[in-house]
Amino acid sequence: MTRFLVTGASGLLGINLCLQLSAENEVIGVVHQQKLVKTPFTVVEADLSDAKIPLNWIEDLKPDVIIHCAAMANIDACEKDPEKAKQINTDLPEMLAFLSHKNGIQLIHVSTDAVFDGAKGDYREEDQPNPLGVYAQTKLAGEQAVLAANADALIARVNFYGCSVTGSRSLSEFFIYNLLANQEMMGFTDVFFCPLLVNDLVDVLLKMVNLRLHGLYHTVSSECLNKYEFGRRIANLFNFNADLIKPVKVSESDLVAVRSPNLSMSTEKLANALGNPLPDQQAGLDRLKKLYDQGYPQRIRLFSG
């Protein structure tokens, strides 16, 4: 049985990862402010903005694999508190990379498509990043620190959606719950991305762990689209009124932080390593619909404490 330490276990990725992993493995999930109850895995509460905290744990817990999902992921909060963003998004992964290298632990560090400025699109792993805001800058610095401290670490640049414990952590939840409430909402027509369903992302990450991949991989859907189109596809799939989603340019919105316009990324390197293409949007959304039909969103929210 493999022992996994997962940070950010209460987050959108972390909870889905821990639930799937715990079916066959020993899992210790780290949370901060969001309490979890009745989980089929062990939960530890800690504020990891002090990067020294994992020092003791790693020696005590001796995990075989660390999957580092915790981050200060709110873009506007990062702009307001750049020092805290650096502590969580840069210093913490650096510490985990140092400790995993020292103790022979496999490390998967989760990063972001936002390391690119979005001017070009179709980004490959060898393209030069140019992060636009504090979140992206601190995440890129985190990637660089991880690879400098542990050349065997795997870095997955991701973008994903799905079901969270709060019901409000993902873009699909934003669209579904506004559509359900018959509420008008904005859909950005000038922001392109390649989101994977989080459950597909979990499957892919676990294959990457088994293959012991290391280095940088773009871990997103093989198909990219704009956020307005993503919302419309969800509305149509769930038989909601797609006209509630109003096409808007992000440049005309009141968001504080700069957004990268075209974060489409090539998944060729990862598809070659896996031996199969990454799921496209239809595959992800069909699986999302099936999960809703099976009551998965309600089940996952029962873990919220």
Ligand X SMILES: NC(=O)c1ccc[n+]([C@@H]2O[C@H](COP(=O)([O-])OP(=O)(O)OC[C@H]3O[C@@H](n4cnc5c(N)ncnc54)[C@H](OP(=O)(O)O)[C@@H]3O)[C@@H](O)[C@H]2O)c1
Please give the residue ranges that form the binding site for ligand X (CB under 6 A): 8-14, 31-34, 46-49, 69-73, 88, 110, 112-113, 139, 158-160, 169
The neighbour count for residue 256, using CB atoms within 10 Å, is 10
CA atoms within 13 A on the CB side of 8: 24
Shortest distance in whole angstroms from residue 216 CB to ligand X = 14
Q: What DSSP letter does each residue of 109-164 carry, written as one string?
A: EEEEGGGS-SSS-SB-TTSPP---SHHHHHHHHHHHHHHHH-TT-EEEEE-EE---
Shortest distance in whole angstroms from residue 229 CB to ligand X = 16
Shortest distance in whole angstroms from residue 67 CB to ligand X = 10
Shortest distance in whole angstroms from residue 228 CB to ligand X = 17
Shortest distance in whole angstroms from residue 143 CB to ligand X = 11
**243 is written with which tokens?**
């006209």
Distance CA 177, CA 154 (A): 35
For ligand X, the closer CB: 88 or 105: 88
For ligand X, the closer CB: 197 or 243: 197
For ligand X, the closer CB: 80 or 241: 80
Distance CA 38, CA 237 (A): 32
For ligand X, the closer CB: 71 or 149: 71
For ligand X, the closer CB: 6 or 182: 6
Shortest distance in whole angstroms from residue 239 CB to ligand X = 25
- The secondary element (H helix, E strand) that includes residue 218 is strand 215-219
Hey, CA dihedral for 72, 76, 79, 80, is it positive or negative? negative
The answer to whether 212 and 106 have CB atoms below 8 angstroms apart is: yes
The single residue listed with the structure tokens 């239809």 is 282
Which residue minimizes CB distance to ligand X?
11
For ligand X, the closer CB: 9 or 242: 9
**15 is written with which tokens?**
């909870």
